[in-house]
Chain A
Amino acid sequence: MKFYRVNRPDVVMESFEGELVLVHMKSGNYYSLQGSAPVIWELIDCGSSIEDIGDQMVARHPEDADEIRRSTRNLVEELVAESLLVPVASAPSPASTKKSSLLQADAPFVLPVLERYTDMQELLLIDPIHDVDETGWPRRKEQSEG
């Protein structure tokens, strides 16, 4: 069984009708989850394993079983690659009490989509390399050398 946790506090999120907006506070990237991706995200945040999510979705849409399992796995791989989710060894603690509010019996399965926006990254790419000068405070290398 593969479990994941949301990479808090680095990731903040907000849900809007049918879409989840995520902001990664360290990378500077932000994301939009659409289609069935917000449901998958919420199930993970509720402590479900990737296999369990597949089972729950397939139970509602047995005709799309292969597509559901494949696209769920691909989405989770992308979310991990973006450091939005972190693999964990066992189910996160709230798993037994939290339930997804988005998983509804009559909701169709819509191919999950992860859109990625990188235009904020430049705000964070500040060179941390520095020396400490005689006053006991760091200076950028070129500053202390000049």
Chain B
Amino acid sequence: MDLTLPLEQQLNLASGKPADPAGFFGAILHAFQRASAGKLIEHRYRIGGKAVVMRFAGPAIAERFSPAIEHLLDPTVAAPDLTVHIFDDRSTGARMPPAPWAPECHGQRGLIQGYNDDRFFTTYEIGIDILQMFDAEQNSAIYWVRDYEWIPYWENSFPMRSILHWRLRNEPLQAIHAGAVGNASDGVLIAGKSGSGKSTTTLACLASGLLYAGDDYVLADITAQPYVHSLYSTAKLVPDNCERFPQLKPLVSNPDKLSEQKALIYLKEHFPTSVVRGFPLRAILLPRVTGQQNARLVKTGARDAFRAIAPTTLLHLTRATEEAARKISILSRALPVYWLEAGNELPQIPHVIREFLSRGA
């Protein structure tokens, strides 16, 4: 698949017809309008300083995604920087128009050949049947799933992640695979690939009363004073963490599905004063397990922050580019970086972070 070709050269190979992303976007927007007639639910959010309007075709699909971003609601936002239209066929009785591209156009990571250029961003995830399309000229997006009951739990935990990434690609903002905890005045990023201890660290901090801006994906502002904006207030717990944090067990939203899913907790509902919209950043902490007695911070450098954040973030986010890598590099160089070496006792982790934050700038 060659996404770099000019649009007019990206042909639908089977039909021989030119790809028509604008025409298709218009057709599915029309399908959304039919699906949402009489049951449109519109929520307004402030996300990373941007006004985002999410338009849901009815309560069934709104209830799937709203809890993860409830803490970002802001009914005062006016002219939207992004409008997302979200619907499914099952709950609305809608019928999505057929895919206009040939089967051969489905590329790696769901990218559709002919429907990705400077203006349009399109993915279709086979298996979970989710279409996401963003029109950069109109700052308008569509999120369609065949059946709202098929939406995987991870999508519920980070709704619209790709669409937000596409919309913010030219802003000094970057969605990154990291958590963030802090206090009223500032905080730290907790970065590392899956399994590095990010969630354990952020949940230990949440349990200790530190403020929480995210444990999986957050939005970093890379301007002169780095700042972290919260994206999602969902915690995903692997089985080990369910045992480490028994007090969280009663809060799990999917207790009957833990044999096949991570435990999902909507934190805004249970920790309304701990979940915040963001804070200025003081440092990047990279958790690692050492087996030593006491938790401690050990100074390291930008290279380790970049290695902890960039590969995992760039590979998660479709159509991430050199520009995204550059933003992660700027962030990595702008802040002091430490290994967060975990000790034997979980409460040591928030203690070390509190102590670090209390030292002053």
Contact = CB atoms under 8 A, between A and B. Distances in A.
B40 to A, nearest CB: 24
Interface in A48-100: none
A139 interface: yes
Contacts of A137: 96, 98-99, 124, 129, 146
A135 B98 contact: yes
Contact of A120 (B126, B311, B321): B311
Contact of B193 (A19, A119, A139): A119
A111 interface: no
Interface in B99-154: 99, 103, 106-109, 124, 126-127, 129, 146
B314 to A, nearest CB: 5
Contacts of A13: 322, 325
Contact of B312 (A25, A120, A126): A120
B320 interface: yes
Nearest to A137: B99
A9 B126 contact: no
Contacts of B193: 119-120
A76 to B, nearest CB: 22
Interface string A114-146: 000101100110111010100111111001000
B315 A138 contact: no
Given A19-B303, A21-B306, A140-B127, A128 B108 contact: yes
Nearest to A16: B303
A23 B126 CA distance: 25
Contact of B315 (A32, A124, A136): A124
B320 A25 contact: yes
Interface residues of A, number: 32
B93 interface: no
Nearest to B305: A16
Given A17-B303, A128-B106, A137-B129, A28 B310 contact: no
A25 B310 contact: no
B306 A139 contact: no
A14 interface: yes
Contacts of B324: 12
Interface in A13-42: 13-14, 16-17, 19, 21, 23, 25-26, 28, 30, 32
A124 B302 CA distance: 26
A68 B103 CA distance: 49
B325 A120 contact: no
Contact of B310 (A17, A19, A21): A21
Given A14-B306, A21-B306, A138-B103, A120 B315 contact: yes
Given A19-B303, A123-B312, 17 more contacts: A9-B321, A9-B322, A12-B321, A16-B306, A17-B301, A17-B303, A21-B307, A23-B311, A23-B315, A120-B312, A123-B315, A124-B109, A126-B126, A128-B106, A136-B97, A138-B124, A139-B129
Interface of A: 8-9, 12-14, 16-17, 19, 21, 23, 25-26, 28, 30, 32, 117, 119-120, 123-124, 126-128, 130, 132, 135-140, 143
